[in-house]
């Protein structure tokens, strides 16, 4: 009978968040798969756990999943941890989970810290409906396009962001989503934990002037303007019309509106053509 894969959450900064069940499970499994063996060894040493570690990271995920699945197929048990937080949440895990399921192994989660849930609950924004978008694309055009796509989702939007991109991402959020209520958390569970709340513009100003370090979670309110968002082709059309009314010629207006929507000029042109009834 196949064995069990345990997805074990570990602290996102504060070792006090390691659960007794996580420790017990790490002690009990046959092998622990982890992103970085040196990093996880420190965690194991801290909690007096002695266990065989194998690396499982984004560059060897497929091959390692096969090897780990072979252990599961023989009835063995595997624990999977990431460097911080919950495995398979913007961390390696998915391929192994799929592999384990495909051979009939049990997959059990050992719950614990996850950054986006904790940032959402301290934000003061509604948590009845959350859209977790992981990391926004690193390229600006793709990022703006993604933001335009999700602008009208009726849920609180949550994103992970790295310290060197937080300013640029906030600026794009402000530009594409408008000046919504938002919250930015950094260093959650650590000594310098900080959550800034307010408008996107206010938070952006603070982040740019403070030059703080740390990893961020960005939480943004849903659209409350009641107007059509900028994501549809009709709003693209409206924006072109607005820019033309402001004195830009059609070519410049199309170029500017396309950039705001994260679209190429040809794609914006195509969408405009599609949105004009009878105009083929």
Nearer to ligand SAM, 215 or 260 (CB): 215
Own/partner pairs for 206-214, CB < 8 Å, 24+ apart?
A: 207/166, 207/167, 207/170, 208/167, 212/163, 212/186, 213/163, 214/163, 214/186, 214/187, 214/190
Nearer to ligand SAM, 184 or 257 (CB): 184
Q: Looking up tokens 């040809």, which residue turns up?
A: 266
Q: How far is the CB of 40 from ligand SAM (least distance, A)?
A: 14
Q: How far is the CB of 75 from ligand SAM (least distance, A)?
A: 29
**Pick from 233, 247, 242, 215: which is nearest to 277 by CA?**
233
Q: How far is the CB of 115 from ligand SAM (least distance, A)?
A: 3
Q: How far is the CB of 11 from ligand SAM (least distance, A)?
A: 9
Q: How far is the CB of 214 from ligand SAM (least distance, A)?
A: 7
Question: Using an 8 Å Cβ cutoff, are 122 and 196 in contact?
Answer: no
Nearer to ligand SAM, 77 or 185 (CB): 185
Q: How far is the CB of 52 from ligand SAM (least distance, A)?
A: 23
CB atoms within 10 A of CB 17: 17
Q: How far apart, in whole angstroms, are the C-alpha atoms of residue 97 and residue 193?
A: 32
Nearer to ligand SAM, 3 or 93 (CB): 93
Residue nearest to ligand SAM (CB): 85
Give Cβ neighbours of residue 271 (< 8 Å, ≥ 6 apart). 233, 236, 263
Nearer to ligand SAM, 213 or 224 (CB): 213
Q: How far is the CB of 30 from ligand SAM (least distance, A)?
A: 23
Q: Tokens representing 58?
A: 């984004």
Q: Looking up tokens 């602290």, which residue turns up?
A: 11
In the complex, the residues that contact ligand SAM under the rule CB under 6 A are 12-13, 82, 84-86, 89-91, 114-116, 160-162, 185-190, 215-217
**DSSP assigned state of 188:** T
17 Rama sector, left if φ>0, alpha if ψ -120 to 50, beta otherwise: alpha
Nearer to ligand SAM, 13 or 262 (CB): 13
**Residue spans of beta strands (DSSP E) within 63-112:** 78-80, 106-110
Nearer to ligand SAM, 162 or 273 (CB): 162
Compute CA distances 102 → 47, 65, 79, whole Å.
33, 12, 17
């Amino acid at each position: 009978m196949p064995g069990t894969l345990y997805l074990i959450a570990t602290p996102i900064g504060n070792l006090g968040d390691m659960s007794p069940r996580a420790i017990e499970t790490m002690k009990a499994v046959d092998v622990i798969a982890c992103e970085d063996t040196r990093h996880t060894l420190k965690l194991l040493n801290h909690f007096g756990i002695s266990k065989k570690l194998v690396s499982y990271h984004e560059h060897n995920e497929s091959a390692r999943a096969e090897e780990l699945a072979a252990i599961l197929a023989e009835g063995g048990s595997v624990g999977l941890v990431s460097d911080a937080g919950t495995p398979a949440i913007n961390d390696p895990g998915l391929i192994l989970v799929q592999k384990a399921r495909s051979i009939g192994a049990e997959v059990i989660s050992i719950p614990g810290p996850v950054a986006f849930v904790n940032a959402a609950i301290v934000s003061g924004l509604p948590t009845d409906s959350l859209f977790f978008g992981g990391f926004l694309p690193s390229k600006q055009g793709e990022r703006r396009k993604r933001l335009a796509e999700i602008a009208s989702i009726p849920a609180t939007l949550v994103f992970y962001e790295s310290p060197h991109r937080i300013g640029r991402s906030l600026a794009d959020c402000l530009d594409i989503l408008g000046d919504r209520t938002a919250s930015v958390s950094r260093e959650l569970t650590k000594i310098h934990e900080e959550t800034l709340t307010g408008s996107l513009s206010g938070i952006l100003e603070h982040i740019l002037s403070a030059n703080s370090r740390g990893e961020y979670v960005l939480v943004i309110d849903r659209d409350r303007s009641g107007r059509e968002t900028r994501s549809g082709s009709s709003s693209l059309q409206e924006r072109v019309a607005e820019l033309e009314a402001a004195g830009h010629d059609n070519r410049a207006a199309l170029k500017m509106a396309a950039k705001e929507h994260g679209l190429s000029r040809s794609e914006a042109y195509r969408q405009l053509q599609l949105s004009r009834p009878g105009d083929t």
